[in-house]
Amino acid sequence: MAGSKTHLVLENYIGGQFIPCSSYLDSYDPSTGEVYCKVPDSGREEVEAAVNAAQNAFPGWSAKSPQERSKILSKLADLIEEDLESFAQAESKDQGKTITFARTVDIPRSVYNFRFFSSSILHQTAECTQMDHVGCMHYTERTPVGIAGLISPWNLPLYLLTWKIAPAIACGNTVIAKPSEMTSATAWMMCKLLNKAGIPPGVVNIIFGSGPKAGDALVSHPQVSLISFTGSTLTGQRIIERSAPYCKKLSLELGGKNPAIIFEDANLDECVPTTVRSSFANQGEICLCTSRIFVQRNICNEFLRRFVEAVKKWKVGNPSDPTIDQGALISKEHLAKVKNHIKKAESEGGKILCGEGIDTLTLPTRNWDGYFMLPTVITEIADDSSCMQDEIFGPVTCVTVFDTEEEVIRRANGVKYGLAATVWSRDVGRVHRVAKKLQCGLVWTNCWLIRDLNLPFGGMKASGVGREGARDSYEFFTEVKTITIKHTEMH
């Protein structure tokens, strides 16, 4: 580990080696507002070195059997799990999320991502058809694509990075990954375990740096055949443009403006606490968070009373305190952006029921300069207002009233995004009807964020392109080839 007296200094991981960089970016501890870490400011040169390492490693890695690769992925999962507490502490400090969330969600899921794909790679089968009338048999074969470029965001740093690395290398690709420059610590910690797990040099390369510099060099490199990206819709559009000249395979998981639809027969005892969580978990910095809540008129007053009461009990404070519900937002700039959305909502006639500008936030002295805000609930806001249309990606949710099923489906679909939705009702027929008509990739009924990694994950419209999951990731990270054999007579 390279270091200085005060700051942790990260290095790129290329070809199985830690390589210092000529220039560095500051990374802040969101809970104090202080610089605590220096992150490489990589660009074309570093990406070029990583491409060479990945190309050299590809023949050997892709030639390994799925069983051999599976064993290595399992070993890496074990190594991360053995060090779970250190990873959780680092993730909480780096991202601002609560230590509880990092311990129970981020790091266990990172471990599970490697375990899951180490197993699923062993259970893929190929198709085969017969054409007896022309004496032919056809079968398919799947081969690794080559070098995969993987770009992950700052909200769930190791969780989403491993969700990409695991299937990519399980399928026999080599990878160049770029975590967010704001949350690079756990990716760097994982690099220290790769060699120990048996991953050959050059199979996994991690380049740290900004999107416009390191990210751009990665997506526009002719030898990088595939890009998997999670992040904003705007950056996704830029990736499509930059990678278009090379016809790369793309999987883009972009923004969301997810509705929660609460019908009059909803079980509020379950609905209220789950909707607080689905609105404000991880500071509202999850692409699947519900930021538009539609409540049927008959129960709207009752829901609001109980919801606001529950939100006011949500504790905001030092992320390392295990009793805290919500930590710090990722950056000073992001905090200002979220607060501006709330000011705009007020100017558009919105009424703030609790949170920002209404309630007092008390913090420990050492956190006074951190990027904290209270969970905020806005009501009486029009569907076309920016707070109901734009992804805020913070602890802000809007509550609005509806009357009929047809109306709420139309309004829920009335945004450019289509990632996820939650529906609360005890009427099974209604749940199926509504789920079918919602324009989104995931619908949760009477629950939120319960995932089965076997099933497809991804969105519609401006929420992205492609799906990932057991079969979907396998298809994305491989190329399919159809082989036809004609039976010939022996003479």
Q: Tens digits of per-residue pLDDT, 297-329? A: 999 999 999 999 999 999 999 999 999 999 999
Q: How far is CA 320 from CA 34, 102, 340, in A?
A: 16, 10, 27
What's CA 329's distance to the chain center, in Å?
Answer: 16
Q: Mean pLDDT over residues 235-256, rounded?
A: 97
Q: What pLDDT was estimated at residue 6?
A: 77
Between 444 and 3, name the one with better pLDDT: 444
pLDDT digits (tens, 9 = 90+) for 163-222: 999 999 999 999 999 999 999 999 999 999 999 999 999 999 999 999 999 999 999 999
Among residues 233, 284, 316, 308, which one has the least CA distance to residue 392? 284
Whole-number pLDDT of residue 293: 98
Cβ atoms of residues 458 and 247 within 8 Å: no
Query: How far is residue 140's CA from residue 15's CA, in Å, rounded to a whole number?
Result: 33
Kindly give the pairing relationship between strand 478-486 and strand 24-29.
unpaired
Residue 469 Cα distances to 113, 335, 447, angstroms: 10, 32, 20
Helix axes 157-170, 107-120, angle to 10 degrees: 10
> If you search the block for the tokens 């734009």, which residue do you land on?
390
Question: How far apart, in Å, are the Cα atoms of 89 and each of 16, 42, 93, 321?
Answer: 25, 26, 6, 11
Beta bridge partners of 205: 176
- Hey, what are 134's tokens? 């022309």
Q: What is the pLDDT of residues 111-127, one digit of tens each?
A: 999 999 999 999 999 99
Percent of the chain with pLDDT over 90: 98
Pairing of strands 174-178, 204-206: parallel
Q: Where are the alpha helices (DSSP H) in 96-184?
A: 99-101, 107-120, 157-170
Q: How far is CA 216 from the centre of its chain?
A: 19
- The SS3 call for residue 444 is strand
In this prediction, residue 3 carries a pLDDT of: 43
How high does pLDDT run on average in the chain? 97
Find, among 362, 350, 230, the residue nearest to 286 by Cα. Answer: 230
Name the token pair of 403. Answer: 């009357």
437: closest CA among 458, 411, 455? 411
Q: pLDDT value at position 489?
A: 75
Tens of pLDDT, residue by residue over 430-470, are: 999 999 999 999 999 999 999 999 999 999 999 999 999 99
Q: Which of 287, 300, 354, 387 is catalytic?
A: 287
Contact status, residue 357 vs residue 342, Cβ threshold 8 Å:
yes
The CB density around residue 326, as the number of other CB atoms within 10 Å, is 24
Q: Record the pTM.
A: 0.96
Could you confirm whether 333 is annotated as catalytic? Answer: no
Give the SS3 label for residue 367: helix
Average pLDDT over residues 274-295: 98
- Sign of the dihedral through C-alpha 47, 48, 54, 57: negative
Q: Are 184 and 212 in contact (CB under 8 A)?
A: no
- 287 carries an active-site annotation: yes
Q: How confident is the model at residue 488 (pLDDT cuts 50, 70, 90)?
A: confident
Q: Which of 181, 253, 356, 468 is catalytic?
A: 253
SS (H, E, C) 375-413: CEEEECCCCCCHHHHCCCCCCEEEEEEECCHHHHHHHHC
pLDDT digit string (tens) for 57-89?
999 999 999 999 999 999 999 999 999 999 999
Q: How high is the pLDDT of residue 123?
A: 95
| pLDDT (0 to 100) of residue 1 | 44
CB-CB contact of 268 with 306 (8 Å): yes
Residue 5 has pLDDT above 60, yes or no: no
H/E segment holding residue 430: helix 428-437
Segment (H or E) for 17: strand 17-19
pLDDT of residue 152: 98
Of 157, 150, 177, 163, the residue nearest 115 (C-alpha):
163
Output the six-digit token pair for 112: 């599970």
Angle made by CA atoms 4, 8, 14, in degrees to the nearest 5: 105
The predicted pLDDT at position 4 comes to: 42
pLDDT of 266 > 80? The answer is: yes
Q: How many residues does the chain have?
A: 491
**How confident is the model over 360-407, as pLDDT tens digits?**
999 999 999 999 999 999 999 999 999 999 999 999 999 999 999 999
